[in-house]
Amino acid sequence: MADNARAKKLADLIQEVVAEKLQRGIKDPRLGTHVTITDTRVTGDLREATVFYTVYGDDEDRASAAAGLESAKGILRSAVGAAAGTKFTPTLAFIADALPENAKAIEDLLDRVRASDAKVREASSGATYAGDADPYRKPEDETDEDTASE
C-alpha cells in the first residue's frame, strides 16, 4: 500500500502527461483542443487512475471526445508509464467531469436568490419600524420613569 503523498504525486504527473499528450501528441480530430483535464485521482495501491475531463461544446462533442479518449487510452497509458518510471503503470479510466453542470445549477440558484432579495428590498423600501426606531432602553429613560412614579 502506497502512502497518500505518493498517490497524489502520481496523480499530478498523470494529469500533466495526459494533458500534454492530448495537446501535442494525439492527432485525433475528435479530441482537438476543446478537451480539458480537470482532475486525476489514483487509488491507494497505485493500480488505477481516474482522469476527469470537460469538453467545450455540445452533447455531440462530448460523446465524440469520450470515444476519442477511449481509443487513445493505450497511447496515453504508455506515455504515463514512460514518464512515471514505476513498476506498474496504472490503468486509466476517463470520466466526464460534472463541474460545468454543477456550476450552472449553482449559478441558477444564486440568480433566484438575487431576484428574491430584490423583491424583499423593494417591498421594504417604504416600510417604517413597528415601534420606535431604537427599541432599547437608555439610562436616561430609566431616570425619567423613576421620577414619574414618585
How many Å apart are CA 64 and CA 73, to the nearest integer? 14
Q: Can you read off the three cell numbers belonging to residue 14?
A: 498523470
The Cβ-side half-sphere exposure at 98, using a 13 Å CA radius, reads 3
Q: What pLDDT is recorded for position 60?
A: 85
Q: What pLDDT is recorded for position 97?
A: 83
C-alpha to C-alpha distances, 30 to 35, 54, 73, 75, 98, nearest whole angstrom: 9, 13, 14, 15, 20
> Which run of H or E residues covers position 93?
strand 91-96
Q: What pLDDT is recorded for position 116?
A: 93
Concatenate the DSSP letters of all residues of 26-69 into one string: ---TTTTT-EEEEEEEE-TTSSEEEEEEEESS-HHHHHHHHHHH
Q: What pLDDT is recorded for position 150?
A: 54
Residues of the chain with pLDDT under 50: none
Q: What pLDDT is recorded for position 134?
A: 74
pTM of the model: 0.67
How many Å apart are CA 36 and CA 57, to the nearest integer? 12
